Amino acid sequence: MEARIVTLPGDYIGPEIMREAVKVLTRVAEKYGHSFTFEEHALGGASIDAYGEPLTTETLAACNAADAVLMGSVGGPKWDGVPANVRPEKGLLALRKGMQVYANLRPCRIHPQLAGACPLRPDIIREPIDIMILRELTGDIYFGKRFRSEDRTQATDEMAYSVAEVERLARIGFEMAGKRRGKLCSVDKANVLECSRLWRETVQRLSKEYPQVEVSYMYVDNAAMQLILRPSQFDVMITGNLFGDILSDESAAIAGSLGMMPSASLGDGTRGLYEPIHGSAPDIAGRDIANPLGTILSGALLLRHSLGLEQEAAAIEKAVSEVLDAGYRTPDIYSEGTEKVGCIRMGDLVTERI
């Protein structure tokens, strides 16, 4: 297979973790007889420094012409003083909107080797935890109308959803649940918000088309609590942009380290945007101690969802598991009795096991 992959290293540790992910993907291509072309572009603060804006039309066009896009991280204190409309994070929001990727897949699994890093009691995580949080990505309060009074004493952010926006995300959730353990939980705040009532009504109507999937409904505050009390009850969770942002970060903490967590953002076609869920970590940038595994595992999701290469994706995930089995850890997941390695060495170790 030939594939064109746009890379967006971004800011601070972004270039470091991207380098290791590209190294692993290059090894996959060599081993399995594929040809991957990597085309690098600036995003976020790096783009502001180079072009005066966080996402250029040229970068967006390149992303939309690619087979898949792999991103590192954006933002950081260097750009705290820039106007709100050109902050690095604006580039990421515009990229998601411009690529029309509306479904954010955030898997939450506890690697057995890292069970000790999970902050929950051992009896809570005794049952296997394998959750897929499906977060709507291009609507909700992040993209609604904004208002600030002239005297700066009042502010409004609009939360808005259409039936079509809810339906397209819910269909992905139902289909995904049907291929997993057959359970879907829709998370909202329908006891208070009209927007959530529309969300729930849409999911209820759609559920009739998927009788093989067991559907439940949960208010977001209870869902946040249940993720702590009994996370094993969840299979696929679907929710809006704001609630999904919060719940998926909570699930990442359960898994033990933000550095381990990949994500995929998908639209109607196969092209997707893949990125680790962590930030740019300016305090550790340039020190060769960042954890590249979240980015490497995002590369595995890229192979699976955009290129249809399941065997190759599984090979990366197996290699990561073997490296953890062998006791190698970056500082964020280090514990007594394991061997501490840097970002580059961790990338080399995974590459060697492909």
**Residue closest to 203 by CA, chosen among 176, 148, 228, 166:** 166
Are 131 and 250 contained in the same domain?
yes
Lookup result for tokens 């069970």: 115
Q: Is the pTM here over 0.75, yes or no?
A: yes
- Of 237, 255, 273, at which residue does a domain stop? 255
Are 197 and 277 contained in the same domain?
no
- Of 255, 273, 294, at which residue does a domain stop? 255
* Domain membership flag for residue 75: yes
Are 159 and 251 contained in the same domain?
yes
Number of domains in the chain: 2
- Pick the catalytic residue: 32, 142, 217, 334? 142
Can you tell me the distance from the alpha carbon of 223 to that of 333, in angstroms, rounded to the nearest whole number? Answer: 27
- Pick the catalytic residue: 102, 245, 274, 332? 245
Output the domain CATH number for residue 14: 3.40.718.10
pLDDT at 56: 98
The token duo for 144 is 């609604």
pLDDT at 111: 78
Q: Which run of H or of E encompasses 320?
A: helix 310-325
Are 318 and 352 contained in the same domain?
yes
* Domain membership flag for residue 232: yes
pLDDT at 284: 96
Are 157 and 245 contained in the same domain?
yes
pLDDT at 114: 79
Examine the residue annotation and report whether 221 is marked as an active-site residue of this protein.
yes
pLDDT at 260: 87
Q: Which run of H or of E encompasses 20?
A: helix 14-32
pLDDT at 211: 97
The token duo for 77 is 């204190």
- Of 203, 228, 255, at which residue does a domain stop? 255
Are 143 and 233 contained in the same domain?
yes
Q: Pairing relation of β-strands 183-188 and 236-239?
A: parallel
**Residue closest to 124 by CA, chosen among 232, 7, 280, 268:** 232
Q: What is the domain extent for residue 273?
A: 1-102+258-354
* Domain membership flag for residue 155: yes
Can you tell me the distance from the alpha carbon of 116 to that of 205, in angstroms, rounded to the nearest whole number? Answer: 42
Are 232 and 284 contained in the same domain?
no
Are 188 and 315 contained in the same domain?
no
Sign of CA dihedral 216, 169, 106, 321: positive
pLDDT at 70: 98
Are 275 and 165 contained in the same domain?
no
- Pick the catalytic residue: 31, 49, 51, 221? 221
- Pick the catalytic residue: 11, 90, 189, 274? 189
Task: Name the DSSP letter for residue 167.
Answer: H
**Residue closest to 240 by CA, chosen among 294, 286, 200, 275:** 200
Examine the residue annotation and report whether 142 is marked as an active-site residue of this protein.
yes
- Pick the catalytic residue: 130, 157, 249, 288? 249
Transcribe 262-293 into DSSP letters: EEEEE-SSS-EEEEESS---TTTTTTT----H
CA 58 to chain centre: 24
Helices 343-352 + 14-32 axis angle, to 10: 10
pLDDT at 226: 97
Are 284 and 319 contained in the same domain?
yes
Residue 44 has phi, psi (to 5 degrees) of: 75, -135
pLDDT at 95: 96
pLDDT by 10s per residue, the chain, length 354: 999 999 999 999 999 999 999 999 999 999 999 999 999 999 999 999 999 999 999 999 999 999 999 999 999 999 998 888 899 999 998 999 999 999 999 998 887 777 777 888 888 888 888 999 999 998 999 889 999 999 999 999 999 999 999 999 999 999 999 999 999 999 999 999 999 999 999 999 999 999 999 999 999 999 999 999 999 999 999 999 999 999 998 988 887 777 888 999 999 999 999 999 999 999 999 999 999 999 999 999 999 999 999 999 999 999 999 999 999 999 988 888 899 999 999 999 999 999
Are 208 and 276 contained in the same domain?
no
Can you tell me the distance from the alpha carbon of 190 to that of 147, in angstroms, rounded to the nearest whole number? Answer: 24
Task: For residue 306, give every residue at least 6 positions away whose Cβ sits within 8 Å of its Cβ, in sequence order, or none.
Answer: 67, 68, 270, 271, 272, 274
* Domain membership flag for residue 112: no
Examine the residue annotation and report whether 189 is marked as an active-site residue of this protein.
yes
Examine the residue annotation and report whether 67 is marked as an active-site residue of this protein.
no
Q: Which run of H or of E encompasses 154?
A: none
